[in-house]
Amino acid sequence: MEQVKAATKDAEKNGVLGHGLHHPFHTMFEDVFEDLPWHLKEQSEQAIRERRIKWPEWSEPAKEA
Amino acid sequence: MIEEAPVSLADAPTRRLNMIEAINDALDIMMERDPNVVVMGEDVGYFGGVFRATAGLQKKYGKTRVFDTPISECGIIGVAVGMGAYGLRPVPEIQFADYIYPGLDQLVSEAARLRYRSAGEFVAPLTVRSPFGGGIFGGQTHSQSPEALFTHVAGLKTVVPSTPHDAKGLLIAAIEDNDPVIFFEPKRIYNGPFNGYYDKPVEPWNKHPDSVVPEGYYSIPLGKARIVRPGQAFTVLAYGTMVHVAAAVCAEKQVDAEIIDLRTLVPLDIETIEASVEKTGKCLIVHEATRTGGFGAELSALVQERCFYHLEAPIERVTGFDTPYPHSLEWAYFPGPVRIGEAVDRLMKA
């Protein structure tokens, strides 16, 4: 039981739904296709712009900065 | 079918219901009025539905009229088509809109075309109820909004209610309709209207004026939109959950927008749309579904074709992104207050 609890806590360090957004936003658009078409590039940029407005305190991974 | 004049809504006694209770009430009333109405689907019988929309119906009407089916959406729809052709009025439930795809062939190739193919000899008077949309941390298999797949199909009607009052009246109208109706229920607002601020407490329906639902039978005609709020600054075209989100953003920004809840996507209330856009000269379209080929594209084309000389700004279209519904990034995907707010700002500056 203790092992399960420890594993749960460890996993939750990556983020818990409802407690904020933990994954880089650009990952939302990856793997829809092998390559990113123009409209998903535009939407990815929009998502990152929205993130800066909604969560200005969120640290920016190098790829999104 | 019991023939009786509908009660006057102004005189009818009312009670406050959430959307689930309103849908349950509509099903109960129609099963009482018409012995040909049957309810079927996964867990709808003994359990009363995963969202409780069919709770108590099997106990009241028996296992031949409210029954559980195997986990086979193709089978559920196919059986319903056959039942409808032979005089019943089936109301199959697809547990989540995300599960409707195995039934797509029966809907597109059979239900939608039966009247046309048989020159009116056979019809498919089924109402396919299905919870749809996101905002419940359901991930990619419990959050999708596939309405555009169905609005594209000739012969299917598509309905999306946004309040308990409308859910009951529209569902009754859908069940009475002699053509197949896809009735998408925005599950994010089953228990209360949602303004897009997921990190704030949710208001229950009992504080909302549209939770006041007349008792007994009434129907809301398919193809008639509702003006949620009259205004002059621009027209908002939305349906389902996004009616509430768009209204909240416009209220927050204190803009005098005319907000139209489409209620029915097919047939569409084009007269109300045209009159509004001709008055305001600007149009904002909001839906939760993915953008490319979404119903917003159809709306945008119609407004451009019919209201071009009245438009004072480019039509704005706010939608979900063109990705599968992301689990952990749900609120980055959802067309919430920031995305809608930017579009509102652009329209107000135009």
pLDDT band at A26, cuts 50/70/90? Answer: confident
Start-to-end Cα distance in chain B: 54
- Both tokens assigned to B343: 């579009």
Q: Is B332 close to A18, i.e. CB distance below 8 A?
A: no
pLDDT band at A17, cuts 50/70/90? Answer: low
Q: Over the stretch B20-66, which tens digit does the pLDDT of each residue have?
A: 999 999 999 999 999 999 999 999 999 999 999 999 999 999 999 99
Q: Which residues of chain B have pLDDT under 70?
A: 1-10
- Please give the pLDDT value at position B12: 83
**3-state secondary structure (DSSP) of residue B121:** coil
* A51 at interface of B, judged by CB pairs closer than 8 A: yes
pLDDT band at A18, cuts 50/70/90? Answer: low
- Please give the pLDDT value at position B198: 87
* A15 at interface of B, judged by CB pairs closer than 8 A: yes
Bridge partners (DSSP) of residue B266 are B158
Q: Taking CB atoms and an 8 Å cutoff, what residues of chain B touch A21? A: 328-329, 331-332
pLDDT band at A65, cuts 50/70/90? Answer: very low
B327 is catalytic: no
Is the pLDDT at A58 greater than 80? The verdict is no
Q: Taking CB atoms and an 8 Å cutoff, what residues of chain A touch B324? A: 32
Q: Taking CB atoms and an 8 Å cutoff, what residues of chain B touch A32? A: 322-324
Residue written as token pair 């949309």 = B133
Question: In terms of CATH architecture, what is B14-189?
Answer: 3-Layer(aba) Sandwich (3.40)
- Please give the pLDDT value at position A61: 60
If you measure CA to CA, which chain B residue comes closest to A19? B199
Catalytic pick among B142, B165, B208, B287: B142
User: A17 or B305: which carries more pLDDT confidence?
Assistant: B305
The ranges assigned to domains in chain B are 14-189, 223-349
B4 class by beta-carbon count within 10 Å (0-12 exposed, 13-18 middle, 19+ buried): exposed
pLDDT band at A55, cuts 50/70/90? Answer: confident
Q: How many residues does the structure list for chain B? A: 350
Average pLDDT, chain B: 95
Q: Does domain B223-349 fall into CATH 3.40.50.920?
A: yes
Q: Over the stretch B200-212, which tens digit does the pLDDT of each residue have?
A: 888 999 999 999 9
pLDDT above 70 coverage of chain A, percent: 80
Rg (CA), chain B: 20
- Please give the pLDDT value at position B202: 82
Nearest to B45 by CA among B81, B15, B69: B69
Q: Is A50 close to B137, i.e. CB distance below 8 A?
A: no
The pLDDT of A43-64, averaged and rounded, is 80
* Under 8 Å between Cβ of B180 and B9: no
B258 is catalytic: no
If you measure CA to CA, which chain A residue comes closest to B137? A17
Residue written as token pair 């599950």 = B187
